[in-house]
């Protein structure tokens, strides 16, 4: 029996077959059970912002677990309030703003979906190719038919519009619209940035219609793109655009550096007041260990200048891939350390497989695109080892499709 047989016998077949049995991690590397080392350029799907087994995160989490591990939402803890305050600061939140803690991205969006219903309206607008999670409400916002159709009927009144198309957004928003849900950069769609000015215009249109603007920063937040949140990035907003203040921001993934946590941040008293006592809750949400992880992660990002590192290493990586001048590579998209390599042929799956064999973890986010979402501590030297390995993996993949 191999580990894959054990996996197959014990695990539900809802996920793709795993690529390796991983047993250990340190920094940007993980090791499998046979001792093979991999440079982790996926970071647990944009989660491990501090890499693996980061000493500060490990000590914060273990110290908290040894002191007070869980209390339920009948009580609060200094960490919970501290992390909420920190998130409000990072979002430059106006007075009256407030945080709800969940345990994952889909739960943060589920909370936002419920909050939107408290406007008294039920219409929702989301983007084509957008991804917001897999629980029923979040799934209704997610666009991909293969994810949605087996579970229909989903909670209703969601209209999907082409991402980045202002006219389509205008036509979809009316007096029944409770909220517009958008990713500032679409992650699962292959790292797609909307045209400059799109988010500002979405803000303007939602405000005029009395609808909420919900920005899903689950994949793009916590420094991933070189700013704390992608909607704060001038390259995403558009040059000269005023800052966008959404009504709700949802976060998860990188927030806990690998410990499950999600959050909904409601900006301003109106959005923050929509859910009243007893209308939403979570047993684990914002527990002392998860919020210790959140505080530790934010502390290290700031202390070690990881926003700047995400920008400089991300730019270096993109330039180095470009300079390969590989005929199969048609471009590199994204910002900071959220990138996609676009191919002119559907070689992403095979390339990812060959890269894994060569010791690099990446993700075929589409048949013709690879996604990179590595730890924000990635160095340029580590990035260069990947760039050096890419041509051989690509050549092997190209052979398979020829």
Cα–Cα dist 293/298, whole Å: 9
Structure tokens at 244: 């966008």
**Taking the complex as a whole, how short is the minimal distance between the CB of residue 361 and ligand PLP, in angstroms?**
16
Q: Give CA angle at 270 (106, 87), nearest 5°.
A: 50
Query: Angle 55-65/288-303 helices, nearest 10 degrees?
Result: 160
Q: Which residue has the tokens 């960490």?
A: 79
**Taking the complex as a whole, how short is the minimal distance between the CB of residue 248 and ligand PLP, in angstroms?**
13
Cα–Cα dist 290/293, whole Å: 5
SS3 104: coil
Cα–Cα dist 386/391, whole Å: 10
Interface region with ligand PLP, contact rule CB under 6 A, candidates 214-222, 236-244, 274-282, 318-326: 214-222
Any contact of residue 221 with ligand PLP (CB under 6 A)?
Answer: no
What residues form DSSP beta bridges with 152? none
User: For the chain, how long is the longest CA-to-CA vector?
Assistant: 62
Instruction: In the chain, count H helices and then E strands.
Output: 15, 15
Closest CA to 163 of 216, 120, 104: 216
**284 given a catalytic annotation:** no
Any contact of residue 218 with ligand PLP (CB under 6 A)?
Answer: yes
Interface map 316-355 toward ligand PLP (x if CB under 6 A): ----------------------------------------
* 29-58 residues near ligand PLP, rule: CB under 6 A: 45
What residues form DSSP beta bridges with 110? none
**Taking the complex as a whole, how short is the minimal distance between the CB of residue 146 and ligand PLP, in angstroms?**
15
Any contact of residue 366 with ligand PLP (CB under 6 A)?
Answer: no
Any contact of residue 291 with ligand PLP (CB under 6 A)?
Answer: no
CA dihedral 73→79→85→87, nearest 10 degrees, is -90
Interface region with ligand PLP, contact rule CB under 6 A, candidates 111-119, 159-167, 216-224, 269-277: 216-224
Interface map 243-262 toward ligand PLP (x if CB under 6 A): ---------x----------
Structure tokens at 341: 């390599």
Contact 118, 274 (CB under 8 A): yes
Cβ proximity to ligand PLP, 110 vs 368, nearer residue? 110
Cβ proximity to ligand PLP, 48 vs 382, nearer residue? 48
Any contact of residue 188 with ligand PLP (CB under 6 A)?
Answer: yes
Q: Which of 40, 181, 216, 368 does the annotation list as catalytic?
A: 216
Cβ proximity to ligand PLP, 219 vs 351, nearer residue? 219
**Taking the complex as a whole, how short is the minimal distance between the CB of residue 151 and ligand PLP, in angstroms?**
15
Cα–Cα dist 283/90, whole Å: 26
Interface map 101-140 toward ligand PLP (x if CB under 6 A): ---xxx--x---------------------xxx-------
Site residues for ligand PLP per CB under 6 A = 45, 104-106, 109, 131-133, 183, 187-188, 216, 218-219, 252
Active site residues: 131, 216, 253
């Amino acid at each position: 029996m191999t580990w894959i047989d054990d996996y197959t016998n014990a695990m539900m077949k809802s996920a793709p077959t795993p690529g390796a049995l991983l047993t250990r991690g340190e920094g940007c590397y993980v090791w499998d059970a046979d001792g093979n080392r991999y440079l982790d350029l996926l970071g647990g799907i944009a989660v491990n912002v501090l890499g693996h087994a980061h000493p500060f995160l490990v000590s914060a989490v273990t110290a908290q677990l040894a002191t007070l591990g869980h209390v339920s939402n009948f009580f609060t803890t200094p960490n919970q309030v501290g992390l909420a305050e920190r998130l409000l600061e990072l979002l430059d939140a106006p007075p009256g703003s407030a945080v709800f803690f969940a345990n994952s991205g889909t739960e943060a969006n589920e909370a936002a979906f419920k909050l939107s219903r408290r406007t008294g309206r039920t219409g929702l607008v989301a983007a084509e190719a957008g991804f917001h999670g897999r629980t029923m409400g979040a799934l209704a916002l997610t666009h991909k038919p293969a994810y949605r159709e087996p579970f229909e009927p989903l909670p209703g009144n969601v209209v999907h519009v082409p991402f980045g198309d202002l006219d389509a957004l205008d036509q979809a928003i009316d007096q029944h619209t409770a909220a517009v849900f958008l990713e500032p950069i679409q992650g699962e769609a292959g790292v797609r940035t909307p045209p400059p000015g799109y988010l500002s215009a979405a803000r303007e249109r939602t405000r005029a219609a009395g609808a909420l603007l919900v920005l899903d920063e689950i994949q793009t937040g916590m420094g991933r793109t070189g700013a704390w949140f992608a909607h704060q990035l001038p390259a995403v907003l558009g040059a000269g655009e005023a800052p966008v203040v959404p009504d709700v921001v949802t976060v998860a993934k990188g927030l806990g550096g690998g410990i499950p946590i999600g959050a909904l941040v409601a900006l301003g008293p109106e959005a923050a007041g929509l859910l009243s006592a007893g209308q939403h809750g979570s047993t684990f949400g914002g527990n002392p260990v998860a919020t210790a992880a959140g505080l530790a992660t934010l502390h290290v990002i700031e202390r070690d200048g990881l926003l700047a590192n995400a920008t400089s290493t991300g730019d270096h990586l993109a330039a180095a891939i470009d300079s390969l001048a590989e005929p199969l590579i048609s471009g590199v998209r994204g910002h900071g350390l959220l990138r996609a390599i676009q191919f002119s042929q559907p070689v992403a799956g095979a390339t990812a497989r060959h890269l894994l064999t060569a010791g690099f973890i990446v993700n075929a986010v589409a048949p013709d695109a690879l996604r990179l979402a590595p730890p924000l501590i990635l160095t340029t030297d580590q990035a260069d080892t990947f760039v050096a390995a890419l041509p051989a993996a690509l050549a092997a993949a190209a052979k398979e499709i020829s």
